[in-house]
Amino acid sequence: MTVSYDLMDFEEVLERFDPVMGLEVHVELATETKMFSASSAFFGAEPNSHVDPVSLGLPGALPVVNAKGVEWAIKIGLALNCEIAESSRFARKNYFYPDQPKNYQISQYDEPIAHDGYLDVVLDDGEIYRVEIERAHMEEDTGKLTHLGGATGRLQGATSSLVDCNRAGVPLIEIVTKPIEGAGARAPEVARCYVAALRELVVALGVSDARMDQGSMRCDSNLSLRPIGQKEFGTRTETKNINSVRSVEQAVRFEMMRQAQVITDGGTIRQETRHYQETDGSTTAGRIKETAEDYRYFNDPDLPPVIAPREWVEEIRATLPELPWVRKERIQKEWKLSDEEMRDLVNAGALDLIIDTVEAGTTPSEARSWWVSYLTQKANEKGVELAALEITPAQVARVVALINEGKLTNKLARKAVDGVLEGEGDVDEVVKNRGLEVVRDDGAIEKAVDEALAANPDIVEKIKGGNKKAGGAIVGAVMKATRGKADPALVNKLIAEKCR
């Protein structure tokens, strides 16, 4: 399928239009059980093995609210500086789709549990951008459909579909921003940084693993344009299926350039959902957007209001961990890092790894130098995230300790790390099996030094003549003879003594 679209140049879009954006993020909670029944909410089990009368929508089955789900919703609301409703309600959002046997989704409508908050987002250059939160509400996830027989795995062209209800009823929190106005050229960046910050936040709160690639965090981005100077918002599109933080940025950018061209060509923007295309970063038209009336929302008669007494909310507030941005600021101060150094390390995904390495006994600068240089290089070579490397912070700390004890040189230490990355075992095993430990036996080293000096009389003359650099060739020869295991400090000392 080839899609054709005309795009206006991004700079030109900004000269004529002002983008308005709205982000809806769904976070799947990592509770043990589902939002309204006792089935496991665990991801990745045999299809339809985590089901029960409630999540299958069998007649007469009654939902019971998961208290942990409510507690975690409040936790997210508090971290987002929201007001927590003392009383909120579940509603039925009615629509037919085979991934949802009840034919309605339990959600919250006009009485969400959390509302009117904000998240201060740090942009790439360190500037803070405040994103206002309209609400964070509780709902349940739907089942999962797998379409067979088509070329693309989509419904179009499929000959049959499979339904897996394991996910049906898993707790979801939907976090909706107020319209984000005035970001201009930075709108795509704000979108990316907001979703990344939200992701970090829920992970730090311990309420979700927020894996966009596995669907435990999902983002829809709404975008409209209005001519510069106009007050009223234009018509928005809502782009779905965005499965990475980078793609959020690209989806916003693409819609800005596409919509600007459509409007300038005299066309109109339809209020529709669009699908993000991972292959080329474009969006394609989906269905015409339903309005709230189409869903016939009404309070769910099976569920009582959710009451959140103030004392309980305060108890939950007291359990909030140090929030990611507070932690970053503290670490930056403690380690005396510049904004740029801090940003590099955060962008490399190294912050937590370095913190854990320091906890395992290194200094911050020792830990930093391993994670942001050699290990980042290794991760790039393998094309994986830093955290996915087969080495733990404790193992890195062990390597550093061996260097400090003089048992490994930096070069040998890199070989030890290589061994660990290759799955050859723990640091000490690799050092032993690869025979990496520095040779401290003076006899063996002295013999190698003597041989190197005897073989290079011209260099000896230079050293004696006061040329300090000439010694490097002797050190090199000794290292070669000892397969890199001699202690360089000892070698230099011996050379100096012998060439006096």
Residues of the shown chain interacting with Mg ion in the complex, contacts defined by CB under 5 A: 24
Using the minimum distance from each CB to ligand ADP, give the nearer residue, 20 or 78: 20
Straight-line distance from the first to the last Cα atom of the chain, in angstroms, rounded to the nearest whole number: 79
Q: Which helix (H) or strand (E) holds 424?
A: none
Based on the shown chain and the rule CB under 6 A, indicate whether residue 248 belongs to the binding site for ligand ADP: no
Using the minimum distance from each CB to ligand ADP, give the nearer residue, 25 or 417: 25
Out of 222, 250, 282, 283, the only residue in the binding site for ligand ADP (CB under 6 A) is 222
Task: Evaluate whether 482 touches 448 at the Cβ level (below 8 Å).
Answer: yes
Residue 250, Cβ neighbours under 10 Å: how many? 22
Out of 147, 178, 447, 498, the only residue in the binding site for ligand ADP (CB under 6 A) is 178
Residues 6+ apart with CB under 8 A from 138: 35, 69, 70, 73, 90, 107, 108, 112, 113, 171, 172, 173, 306
Using the minimum distance from each CB to ligand ADP, give the nearer residue, 24 or 426: 24
Based on the shown chain and the rule CB under 6 A, indicate whether residue 224 belongs to the binding site for ligand ADP: yes
Using the minimum distance from each CB to ligand ADP, give the nearer residue, 20 or 479: 20
Alpha helices in 108-168 (DSSP H): none
For the segment 295-324, give every residue that binds ligand ADP (CB under 6 A): none
Task: Evaluate whether 8 touches 261 at the Cβ level (below 8 Å).
Answer: yes
Binding mask 9-48 for ligand ADP (x = CB under 6 A): -----------xxxxx------------------------
Q: Which region among 100-108, 112-120, 177-185, 355-363 touches ligand ADP (by CB under 6 A)?
A: 177-185
Decide which of ligand ADP, Mg ion, none touches 345; Cβ closer than 5 to 8 Å per partner kind: none
Using the minimum distance from each CB to ligand ADP, give the nearer residue, 145 or 269: 269
Task: Identify which of 32, 136, 124 has the alpha carbon closest to the alpha carbon of residue 80.
Answer: 136
Least Å distance, CB 196 to Mg ion, is: 21
Distance CA 142, CA 27 (A): 13
The residue nearest ligand ADP at its CB is 22
Task: Evaluate whether 224 touches 252 at the Cβ level (below 8 Å).
Answer: no
Task: Identify which of 234, 194, 195, 239 has the alpha carbon closest to the alpha carbon of residue 220.
Answer: 239
Task: Evaluate whether 462 touches 474 at the Cβ level (below 8 Å).
Answer: no
Place of tokens 């996910």: 167
Decide which of ligand ADP, Mg ion, none touches 233; Cβ closer than 5 to 8 Å per partner kind: ligand ADP
φ and ψ of 92, to 5 deg: -100, 130
Q: Which region among 154-162, 173-181, 443-451, 479-487 touches ligand ADP (by CB under 6 A)?
A: 173-181
Decide which of Mg ion, ligand ADP, none touches 327; Cβ closer than 5 to 8 Å per partner kind: none
Out of 89, 218, 236, 274, the only residue in the binding site for ligand ADP (CB under 6 A) is 236
Q: Which helix (H) or strand (E) holds 143?
A: none
* Contacts of the segment 182-185: beta carbons below 8 A, 24+ positions apart: 182/18, 183/19, 183/21, 183/129, 184/14, 184/18, 184/19, 185/10, 185/14
Task: Identify which of 87, 251, 271, 80 has the alpha carbon closest to the alpha carbon of residue 178.
Answer: 80
Distance CA 84, CA 361 (A): 41
Task: Evaluate whether 188 touches 249 at the Cβ level (below 8 Å).
Answer: yes
- Degrees (nearest 5) of the Cα angle 375, 397, 420? 55
Residue 281, Cβ neighbours under 10 Å: how many? 14
Based on the shown chain and the rule CB under 6 A, indicate whether residue 233 belongs to the binding site for ligand ADP: yes
Decide which of ligand ADP, Mg ion, none touches 80; Cβ closer than 5 to 8 Å per partner kind: none
Distance CA 194, CA 131 (A): 8
Least Å distance, CB 292 to ligand ADP, is: 6
Using the minimum distance from each CB to Mg ion, give the nearer residue, 23 or 41: 23
Binding mask 126-155 for ligand ADP (x = CB under 6 A): --------x---------------------
Q: From residue 371, how far is each of 252, 387, 397 by CA, in Å?
A: 33, 10, 11
Decide which of ligand ADP, Mg ion, none touches 139; Cβ closer than 5 to 8 Å per partner kind: none
Decide which of ligand ADP, Mg ion, none touches 378; Cβ closer than 5 to 8 Å per partner kind: none
Using the minimum distance from each CB to ligand ADP, give the nearer residue, 114 or 412: 114
Q: Which region among 110-118, 176-184, 340-348, 358-366 touches ligand ADP (by CB under 6 A)?
A: 176-184
Using the minimum distance from each CB to ligand ADP, give the nearer residue, 23 or 82: 23
Using the minimum distance from each CB to ligand ADP, give the nearer residue, 37 or 222: 222
In the structure encoding, which two tokens stand for residue 313, read together? 């909310």
Decide which of ligand ADP, Mg ion, none touches 27; Cβ closer than 5 to 8 Å per partner kind: none
Least Å distance, CB 434 to Mg ion, is: 56
Task: Count the residues of the shown chain that bind ligand ADP, applying the rule CB under 6 A.
Answer: 16
Least Å distance, CB 232 to ligand ADP, is: 9
What residue ranges bind ligand ADP (CB under 6 A)?
A: 20-24, 134, 176-179, 222-224, 233, 236, 238
